Amino acid sequence: MDIHTDIPLKNYTTMHIGGPAKFMADAHTPQELSELMMRAKSQNMPYFILGGGSNTIAHDEGFAGIIIRMMIKGYSVVAETAGDITIQVGAGEIWDDFVQRTIAMHASGVEALSAIPGTVGAAPVQNIGAYGQEVADTIVSVDAFDSQTNQFVTLKNLDCDFGYRSSIFRGLDAGRYGITSVTFRLFKTAPQPPFYEAVQRYLDQKGATIYTPEAIRDAVIAIRAEKLPDPTQLPNAGSFFKNAVIENWQFSELIAQYSTMPNYEMANQKRKIPTGWLIEQCGLKGQVLHGMRVHDKNALVLINESATGYADLAAAREEIRAAVRTKFHIEIEQEPLEL
Ligand code: EPU
């Protein structure tokens, strides 16, 4: 395995910020991954497993350890019945290539997650979700190398403790597991309405009445292209903040004041409020703060236009958080992980 030194992280993260990684190596197989993780641990060196870098923010001082680039490829159908198909996918496969493959198989379950940047192995970490689907809905299990026991393990869906943009991989057990593959159960039945409002609107406009996985994928790709900047053209990390989850009592107070506030009911007496709406209400949509532009089509997304580094991004983030705190008394949380 080649180990490279002093590699600028800005070239490996879609936000295009970040100083040098001391070391960087590619893991093409589960064995290579486990060797790199064990070697780093034995030398007391931090490690970080990087997929597409589309949900990762690096610091100006870089990373004083080893970045392990996830390159494990491969697809295998592990079970098939009349109604479903179970497929194991290497963590280093490109997420959207996988989605495209499921469409070609006429399988449903991840079509609404079309065009999300990044790798398959990153999907469970933040439980990617969009347009009415969450990856946790189709994940059967996650295979990983456990750096605590030095063994390969299979974590069942429930073991991953999936929640809204959360899992053990970014929560309690952050850094413990090196994900090698993800196993999904997809369905041979067509996607069922009700669909996410914007998707249904698109389908209606097209006069679509047969809801194939492909039709949903096409709708999602078109909606995303309209609302979300392409990270290869405009540096960004998708939604920069999570949507806000607040207690029902606070929601009652806010809705009395802001009757048009979009909101979604959640379990446990909570409500989800779109942070993009909160930021927009603060008058920040389209504004540039410290070189970071609040996207004019979705205020949840920050685009790095001319930030000189992490400090600019942090200053923009804090100004936005403070504005939302002052106006709504809500603490908004960053969505991408930090290296
Ligand atoms: N809204 C505004 N102003 C804005 C942005 C949104 O008023 O600037 C309102 C919209 O009008 C709508 C609601 O907020 O009523 C929700 O907006 P949208 O459907 O665009 O979705 P979102 O909440 O901004 C979330 C995900 C996206 C995902 C979309 C679609 C999070 C953090 N983000 O965004 O995921 O694609 O829903 O399902 O949950 C990502 O995580 O990187 C990501 C792009």
**What residue spans define the domains of the chain?**
3-70, 75-187, 197-227, 236-338
Q: The domain at 75-187 falls in which architecture?
A: 2-Layer Sandwich (3.30)
Mutate to test the pocket of ligand 1, among 114, 226, 227, 300 (most ligand atoms within 8 A of CB): 300
Does ligand 1 have an atom closer than 6 angstroms to the CB of 26? Answer: no
Nearest CA to ligand 1 atom 26: 130
Does ligand 1 have an atom closer than 6 angstroms to the CB of 240? Answer: no
What dotted CATH number matches 236-338? 3.90.78.10
Does ligand 1 have an atom closer than 6 angstroms to the CB of 274? Answer: yes
pTM (two decimals): 0.96
CA of 24 to the centre of ligand 1 (A): 34
Q: What is the pLDDT of residue 229?
A: 97
| Radius of gyration of the chain measured on its C-alpha atoms | 20
Q: The domain at 3-70 falls in which architecture?
A: 2-Layer Sandwich (3.30)
Task: Say yes or no: do domains 3-70 and 75-187 share a fold.
Answer: no
What is the Cα–Cα distance from 114 to 108, expressed in whole angstroms?
Answer: 12
Ligand 1 atom with minimal separation from the 165 CA: 39
Ligand 1 atom with minimal separation from the 242 CA: 32
Along the 339 residues of the chain, how does pLDDT read in single tens digits? 899 999 999 999 999 999 999 999 999 999 999 999 999 999 999 999 999 999 999 999 999 999 999 999 999 999 999 999 999 999 999 999 999 999 999 999 999 999 999 999 999 999 999 999 999 999 999 999 999 999 999 999 999 999 999 999 999 899 999 999 999 999 999 999 999 999 999 999 999 888 999 999 999 999 999 999 999 999 999 999 999 999 999 999 999 999 999 999 998 899 999 999 999 999 999 999 999 999 999 999 999 999 999 999 999 999 999 999 999 999 999 999 999
Q: What is the pLDDT of residue 267?
A: 85
Mutate to test the pocket of ligand 1, among 298, 333, 335 (most ligand atoms within 8 A of CB): 298
